[in-house]
Structure formats: structure tokens, C-alpha cells
Amino acid sequence: MPSSHGYAALGSQSPLVPYAFTRRDPDPTEIAIEILYCGVCHSDLHMSRNEWGQSIYPMIPGHEIVGRVIAVGTSSTKFKPGDIAAVGVIVDSCRQCAPCHRGEEHFCDQGPTLTYSAPDRVDGSITMGGYSNNYVVDERFAHRVPANLDLAAVAPLLCAGITTYSPLRHWKAGPGKKVGIVGLGGLGHMALKFAHSFGAHVVQFTTNLRKREDALKLGADEVVLSSDPAAMKAHTKSFDLILDCVSAPHPLDDYLALLKQDATLTLVGLPDTPPSFSVFNLITRRASIAGSMIGGMPETQEMLDYCGQHSIFSEVEVIPIQNVNEAFERLLKQDVKYRFVIDMSTLK
Ligand code: NAP
Ligand code: ZN
Ligand code: ZN
């Protein structure tokens, strides 16, 4: 492998700083890619600051990766040098358990290997993510990219895209269903695009009414300011599904009250503190609170193909890697439309 370098957090208080390291050569079924673009997910911020208590340093974040294949292992057949390939949140799993056999590697009984800050199953080193110049990954965990989409706008599909596509499919968002999306950020804007494309009636909840026009353009049928009690009350007991994409603690009862009988509030956002809610809001409508995490490898490819067929992509602000710390600060201020993507050609 050529030498590797990127931007790393050296500890939970550390900004991201230039960092050099080594990657192993690809095994027979692996490929090496030169990274072209990497999205900036709010999980990268949670992880680099150890907000979930599982971070390993030094840490190079980044799990929304699009790149060009530069080498293929001796028995690798899916890609050839020069192809475009994409990598998301996980890069390996046990490949033996029932979820792995079903193509739900993200639910691997032994736990999937995360793209960064996790022990590599091959050599025990700590995985380093996509805020870097290259990656080595098994071809099973790399995806083909639709040829008609802009590569920077594809990168966020690898996390924000699949994390919202999968639960919307699972809970059958579609014609005749009223679906709420909470939070118009990286995940939220993809959820909005998918739910609209699947034919549901979509209501975007936001804390910031300045996002109203954008939400309507992105596919919302209605936009509700979540701090407006009257506007919230108007939707009481009317939703089939609400997908919560919020990164910070916030009241769940406001949304449980809006569910119909037998409806579901699905959490994908991962605030650093556990939520609290009133059980009364569940029993009075037999409602469910559920969670969902990314998607398996077959469904991730299905999502990418769907995006190619329907021209669905992320709204992005492309940044040089030197601005990544500023991008983290802007994420915290909800100042992003709607995903930062690092142009890796700026990494010298
Ligand atoms: P993001 O771009 O920062 O968007 C988060 C949105 O949440 C903001 O745009 C804002 O929307 C809303 N929000 C922020 N602070 C809030 C507060 N205090 N109260 C109410 N609303 C608030 O983040 P993201 O990248 O989409 O990630 C969202 C969350 O999903 C993160 O916690 C991330 O770690 C998690 N995640 C989970 C998975 C999974 O597999 N389950 C995968 C990826 C990410 P408005 O301005 O519209 O209110
Ligand atoms: Zn992510
Ligand atoms: Zn497994």
C-alpha cells in the first residue's frame, strides 16, 4: 500500500490534526481505494469527542466514503482498478452467523467491524476511517456507485442514506401512510427525500422555521415547528411512522402523542444521554418505540441503485479537509445544508 495519512483526533478534547499511519496490503478478497470524497456525519463528531464512551485514539473518523479502486486482491472479482467504489459504516463482520448469512451484517451476532475506531478482524490493528487518502476493505463491504450521480453527493448515502432508507422500507413508508421526519440535518434531509419518493405524505418537524422552504423543496408536504404547541397538537394521533433523526437530547413525548394506534416512533438519532418518556403515551395507543442502525450490504447496494434510478442524492457543501474542525462546530450550530463532504484532493 502507498503511505496513508489523514486527519485524526488524538483524544476527546483534541481537534482533528494531520496524522500519518500505515494500512496493510489487500488480502485476496480485498480492494484498496484512493478516497475521493468523505461525508461528515454527526456520528464522527460524537465519536471524536467520545460522547458514547467507546472511542479509541488516535482516531481518523469518516464512514461515508467514495473512492477509486487502485488495487484488487488476487481472488477479488467485484471491482477492477479504476472503478468507483463506496464504503459505509461497517467494513467486516463474522460472516458466519444467521444475520450475516441473511445479508444483515450490521446485526452480526459477534458485532460488525466499524470503519474506524474498532479492532480490525484481520490483523487486530485499529481501523482508521475516511478522512484520509486511502482505504483497504473486503469487496463484500464495498459498493458499486450509480454512474449518473455526482460523487460528492453520493458519499453521504453510505451512512445518512442507508440509515434512513432502511427503516422507511422496513416500516413501509409509502402511499396512504403519514410519515414524520424529526430534524432536518444530514439524516433528516435524506429521510425526507426517500419518504417523499416512496409516496408517503411527509411532515418535516424542525426547531428552525428558516428551513421551511428547503424542506418543502426537498419533498415535505407539511413543515411543523416543533416548539409550537398548537402546530404540534394539530397532528395528534395521526402518524403511522415518525423517524427521529435528532443528534441531541429532546422530548420524545411530543412525538409519541402524534402517533396513531399501533404506530411507531423509530429512533435513528443517537444523543449522548438516554431518552425519557411517559409510558402512558404508549399504552393509550399500543404504540412502539423502535430503533434502527444503518443497513446490511445487499440493502445498501439496493439503496444506491434506487438513488441512481430516481436521481436521489445528498445536498452537500464540499469543503477542504483543512476546514473539518470548523465543519464540526457548524454541525453543532445546525448550520449545514445538509451535509459537509470533504474533497480529499485537498489532503496534501
Ligand atoms: P445533523 O446533520 O447534525 O442533524 C441533526 C439535526 O437534529 C439538526 O439538523 C437539527 O434539525 C436537529 N437538532 C439538533 N439539535 C437539536 C436539539 N437540541 N433539539 C432538537 N433538535 C435538534 O446530524 P446527522 O448526521 O443527521 O446525525 C443525526 C444523529 O443520527 C446523530 O446522533 C448521529 O450520530 C445519528 N446517526 C445514527 C445512525 C444509525 O445507524 N442509527 C447513523 C448515522 C447517524 P432541525 O434544525 O431541523 O431542528
Ligand atoms: Zn454516520
Ligand atoms: Zn455475523
Phi/psi at 226 (5° precision) = -70, -15
Quick one: average pLDDT of 319-343?
97
CB of 201 within 8 A of CB of 240?
no
pLDDT at residue number 99: 98
Confidence of residue 169 (pLDDT cuts 50, 70, 90): very high
Mean pLDDT of the chain: 98
3-state helix, strand, coil in the chain (%, to 5): 30, 30, 45
Q: Which ligand has the minimum distance to the alpha carbon of residue 207? A: 1
In the reported structure, the alpha carbon of residue 92 is separated from the centroid of ligand 3 by a whole-number distance in angstroms of 9
Question: Measured between alpha carbons, how far is 176 from 173 in angstroms, rounded to an integer?
Answer: 9
Greatest Cα pair distance, the chain, in angstroms, is 63
Mean predicted confidence (pLDDT) in 20-29? 96
Q: Is 347 in the pocket of ligand 1 (CB under 6 A)?
A: no
pLDDT at 192 (0 to 100): 98
* CA of residue 270 to ligand 1 center, whole Å: 8
Angle at 223 between CA 217 and CA 225, to 5 degrees: 135
Over range 128-156, report the average pLDDT.
98
Q: Which atom of ligand 1 is found nearest the CA of 160?
A: 43
For ligand 3, the distance from its centroid to the CA atom of residue 121, given in whole angstroms, is 12
| Residue pLDDT, tens place only, 207-240 | 999 999 999 999 999 999 999 999 999 999 999 9
Element at 329 (helix H, strand E)? helix 324-332
The reported pTM is 0.98
Q: Which of 192, 334, 337, 340 to mutate to test the pocket of ligand 1 (most atoms within 8 A of CB)?
A: 334
Q: Closest Cα to atom 19, ligand 1: which residue?
A: 250
At 2 the pLDDT is 83
Atom number of ligand 1 nearest to Cα 271: 32
Q: CB atoms < 10 A from the CB of 58, how many?
A: 17
Q: Tell me what pLDDT residue 195 has.
A: 99
- Atom from ligand 1 closest to the CA of residue 188: 26
Contact 223, 201 (CB under 8 A): no
In angstroms, the CA 329 to CA 33 distance is: 29
Q: Which ligand is nearest to the CA of 42?
A: 1
**Spatial separation of the C-alpha atoms in residues 39 and 293, rounded to whole Å:** 17
pLDDT at 1: 81
- With b for 16 or more beta-carbon neighbours within 10 A and e for fewer, the 301-313 pattern comes to bbbbebbbeeebb
